[in-house]
Structure 1
Amino acid sequence: MTSAVVDDTADQDVFGGVDSHADTIHVAVISDNGGHLADAEFTTTGAGYAAALAFVAAHGHVIAIGVEGTASYGAGFTRAARSHGHQVVEVNRPDRAERRRIGKSDPIDAYAAARAALSGRASSAPKDDTVAGIRALHNAARSAVKARTAALNQIGHILITAPDTVRAKYGQLKGTDRTDALARLRPCGDAVHTAVLTALRSLARRVKELTAEHEALTKALDSEVTVHNPGLRASYGVGPDTAAQLLLTAGGNPERMRTEAAFAALCGVAPVPASSGRTNRHRLSRGGDRAANAALYRIALVRMSHDLRTREYVTRQTTAGRTKKEIIRLLKRAIAREMFRCLTTTVAVPGIADLRPLRQSRNITLTAAAKHFGVWPATISTLERGIRRDDDLAHAYRNWLQAA
């Protein structure tokens, strides 16, 4: 139902609010003092978006439009509104207390979004579309991993109750050995054996196909992430999946995050004040983007295992009496600061393309180079190929090769 406009309000300032859905959007308009002017429903098509923007503009000068779900159902309207020069702000859904108090409907949510834009409670700029390709590849790769895990679990469950001969032959195998053996099966025997072996073969082949699919998607994702932000991808412990998740959390327009403290809060690694009366303390944040929090956690684990500076830091903190959990929390906060710098500024990545040709021109093997620096040959190989970044080692390696 559309509310009627009672007078000419073309000169007044207005704010819009949008409650988005898969097939429709509900748009509400309020004045600059919070008064309800009108609301209407439109379809999620190009014509519907144009009509919605015209509807809002008909009530006055549009200051801002608050949209709920700018990166999901409201993405189409957000693109249309920004292309027409309107300021769009991202609105979180109303909290549970407010919904219990005033109820829920499309008009209620649309007016709530407009009030959030008016009050300044919603002030974040929506993410742009430059990371849409990374999001698509990242989601596809993650779904391939989930499907592969489900198939592996099914294989294990079937083998638990399989006939003794099948369980004895394949139950002791692990990993790829089991998958390869099951994928080569030729089902035979009685009806039970044939059915069980057929199911196992089908699941094993599915695992192999999903593994190949995930590898191809990860390769494509790595290429996209490296082109989009080479400094982030080159950071120590940041792989394709981790870099993609941080880019998705920040968005293609990271200037929407004003400070690194805001980014840390967004990732759920900033301590939350929990003081009251004479108690002055902070507690662990359970909010924020938990996928980004998990990405920082993975970076911390990699650095704790392989990065010399991080291992020395862990040793110092352990000596000071901190637990492993406390140390990881400190590391995640520090890593968030580093990742924010990579996301918001251009970080120069030292070149390594000359290392392998230089070594080969000196007729030095990987084994000899690794022995000189006291590392594994694989470390030198990954350094030369740009898979693992270690600026100190690369600098020392280059100087040694030039002097050889």
Structure 2
Amino acid sequence: MTSAGTADMVGQWVFGGVDSHADTIHVAVVTGNGGHLADAEFPTTSAGYAAALAFLSAHGDVAAIGVEGTASYGTGFTHAARADGLTVVEVNRPDRAERRRSGKSDPIDAYAAARAALSGRASSTPKDETVTGIRALHNAARSTVKARTAAMNQIGHILIGAPDTIRAHYRALDGKPLIDALARLRPTGDAVHTAVLTALKSLARRVKALAAEHDELTAVLDAVVTGHNPGLRAAYGVGPDTAAQLLITAGGNRDRLRTEASFAALCGVAPVPASSGKTNRHRLSRGGDRAANAALYRIALVRMSSDRRTRDYVTRQSTAGRTKKEIIRLLKRAIAREVFRYLTTTVTVPDIADLRPARQAKNITLTAVAHHFGVRPAVISCIERGTRRDDDLANAYRNWLQAA
């Protein structure tokens, strides 16, 4: 630890910086003009966090603390600092050019975080705990999909090299019928056949178990996301997975999102200026949160395939000479603007609890309703259950039921 006479510095404004790790945090203190005061290392325990805060306060009045990794290794310190009434800002990792110039060590990174808080380059409020449960469920559900895909790929690879009799027997099957058939296997035959069939049966059962686990996790995730932000979940084309990802990217505290343009940049859908001399143009952003970008992309695809207004927009843009990629880019930017409104304001979702009882009371089937409005029965079912929002269709449906 280096020190510069802390006794006579109490009363001045100082800024802190934290480089966080799994077992330790390195804390640095700088003055209001960026001068280095001191740095020290502390364990990632409650006692360590208290000692780190006391170390910061001993050098003056703490104006702000820049923390690298507020949602990962720095979570514990961030909570402790905010509970103590201190201002914490989120600091990004130094870029490669900066690290090539100044090197890499815990004290260097901690001082860089402190200077980022001092200069205002780091100004984002850390994410609060309201999306912690959503993040956990989302990660668990995603991992079941990856594991299920890996198991299905293994089944395909085994069948490629399996004996001819096994390949011939299951060649005509694919997807769920294949998994169901393999899960019911009773391995028989010589040693090779028995081993191959046993492996296929084990993998098929794994696929079925993972599918059931994914459905269970998705149902819980859907309930949590809907309770957290019903307006976002009810938006057209927004499912449990995409809603969860957008909430994780934005964080639960609304004050993190200042403008819809900054949110679009965060999601990597804001056009980036690429002008030079007489050339005046923009290019596609390749930065931002790629998972959020992928979520907006999936919403755009859903709307392009089944939303009437979006399909009309795509037709107009295609007639104007835009390519499909350009149209999708425009749609993602527009969807980001809409999502920002759901994330930053309370959007009231119209009550649809009366639709299903009214339909059932008049003994009208979903198929009959779907046929009348020219949509699939699943669309009407989703509107009745509140998992899909289409206010115009819901109102027309309610008026039709009243007149039926």
Matched with 1:253 is 253
Q: Which amino acid aligns with 1:247?
A: L
Change in Cα spacing, 1:67 to 1:364, as seen in structure 2 (3 Å) is: same
**Counterpart mapping for 1:220-231 below 5 A:** 220-231=220-231
1:90-126 per-position Cα deviation (integer Å, ceiling 9, x unaligned): 0001110110111100000000000000011101111
Q: Helix, strand or coil: the match of 1:67?
A: strand
Q: Which amino acid aligns with 2:299?
A: I
Deviation of 1:2 after TM superposition, in Å, equals 4.6
Q: Which amino acid aligns with 2:372?
A: H
Q: Distance in 2 between matches of 1:301 and 1:100?
A: 41
**Counterpart mapping for 1:106-121 below 5 A:** 106-121=106-121
The question of whether the paired residues in 2 share the 8 Å contact of 1:300 and 1:331 is answered with yes
**Counterpart mapping for 1:321-340 below 5 A:** 321-340=321-340
Matched with 2:168 is 168
Matched with 1:68 is 68
Q: Which amino acid aligns with 2:208?
A: K
Change in Cα spacing, 1:222 to 1:247, as seen in structure 2 (3 Å) is: same
Q: Distance in 1 between matches of 2:282 and 2:221?
A: 38
Change in Cα spacing, 1:202 to 1:2, as seen in structure 2 (3 Å) is: farther
The question of whether the paired residues in 1 share the 8 Å contact of 2:6 and 2:59 is answered with no
Structure 1 moving runs of 4+ over 3 Å: 1-7
Q: Distance in 2 between matches of 1:303 and 1:290?
A: 20
Q: Distance in 1 between matches of 2:336 and 2:6?
A: 52
Q: Distance in 2 between matches of 1:182 and 1:350?
A: 46
Q: Distance in 2 between matches of 1:209 and 1:3?
A: 58
Matched with 2:78 is 78
1:290 aligns with 2:281: no
Matched with 1:28 is 28
Deviation of 1:57 after TM superposition, in Å, equals 0.5
Deviation of 1:202 after TM superposition, in Å, equals 0.9
Q: Helix, strand or coil: the match of 2:167?
A: helix
Matched with 1:9 is 9
Q: Distance in 1 between matches of 2:260 and 2:329?
A: 16
Q: Helix, strand or coil: the match of 1:124?
A: coil
1:119-151 per-position Cα deviation (integer Å, ceiling 9, x unaligned): 111011110011000000000000010000000
Deviation of 1:185 after TM superposition, in Å, equals 1.2
1:208-233 per-position Cα deviation (integer Å, ceiling 9, x unaligned): 11000000000000000000000000
Q: Which amino acid aligns with 2:296?
A: L
Deviation of 1:303 after TM superposition, in Å, equals 0.2
The question of whether the paired residues in 2 share the 8 Å contact of 1:14 and 1:30 is answered with yes
Deviation of 1:351 after TM superposition, in Å, equals 1.1
Deviation of 1:274 after TM superposition, in Å, equals 1.3
Deviation of 1:72 after TM superposition, in Å, equals 0.5
Matched with 2:150 is 150
Matched with 1:265 is 265
Q: Distance in 2 between matches of 1:13 and 1:23?
A: 29
Q: Which amino acid aligns with 1:98?
A: E
1:392 aligns with 2:392: yes
Matched with 1:219 is 219
1:316-356 per-position Cα deviation (integer Å, ceiling 9, x unaligned): 00000000000000000000000000000011111111011
Matched with 1:124 is 124
Q: Which amino acid aligns with 1:329?
A: R
Q: Helix, strand or coil: the match of 2:93?
A: coil
Matched with 2:311 is 311
Q: Distance in 2 between matches of 1:227 and 1:104?
A: 43
Matched with 1:178 is 178
Q: Distance in 2 between matches of 1:151 and 1:249?
A: 29
Q: Distance in 2 between matches of 1:169 and 1:355?
A: 48
1:141-182 per-position Cα deviation (integer Å, ceiling 9, x unaligned): 000100000000000001000111111112331011111111
Deviation of 1:380 after TM superposition, in Å, equals 2.0
Q: Helix, strand or coil: the match of 2:269?
A: coil
Q: Helix, strand or coil: the match of 2:8?
A: coil
Q: Which amino acid aligns with 1:348?
A: T
Matched with 1:205 is 205
Q: Distance in 2 between matches of 1:375 and 1:247?
A: 30
Q: Which amino acid aligns with 1:186?
A: R
Matched with 1:232 is 232
The question of whether the paired residues in 2 share the 8 Å contact of 1:88 and 1:125 is answered with yes
Q: Helix, strand or coil: the match of 1:315?
A: helix
The question of whether the paired residues in 1 share the 8 Å contact of 2:2 and 2:37 is answered with no
Q: Distance in 1 between matches of 2:311 and 2:154?
A: 39
1:6-55 per-position Cα deviation (integer Å, ceiling 9, x unaligned): 64100111000000000000000011011100000000000000000000
Q: Distance in 2 between matches of 1:364 and 1:155?
A: 44
1:100 aligns with 2:100: yes
Q: Helix, strand or coil: the match of 2:42?
A: strand
What is the count of residue pairs matched by the alignment?
404
1:188 aligns with 2:185: no
Matched with 1:301 is 301
The question of whether the paired residues in 1 share the 8 Å contact of 2:7 and 2:59 is answered with no
1:258-312 per-position Cα deviation (integer Å, ceiling 9, x unaligned): 0000000000000011122222211110000000000000000000000000000
**Counterpart mapping for 1:336-355 below 5 A:** 336-355=336-355
Q: Which amino acid aligns with 1:214?
A: H
Matched with 1:403 is 403
Structure 2 residues not aligned, in runs of 5+: none
Q: Distance in 1 between matches of 2:361 and 2:301?
A: 37
Q: Scaled by the length of structure 1, what TM-score is found?
A: 0.98
**Counterpart mapping for 1:36-55 below 5 A:** 36-55=36-55
Q: Distance in 1 between matches of 2:165 and 2:143?
A: 34
1:228-269 per-position Cα deviation (integer Å, ceiling 9, x unaligned): 000000000000000000000000102211000000000000
The question of whether the paired residues in 2 share the 8 Å contact of 1:5 and 1:38 is answered with no
Structure 1 residues not aligned, in runs of 5+: none
Deviation of 1:374 after TM superposition, in Å, equals 2.2
Q: Helix, strand or coil: the match of 1:89?
A: strand
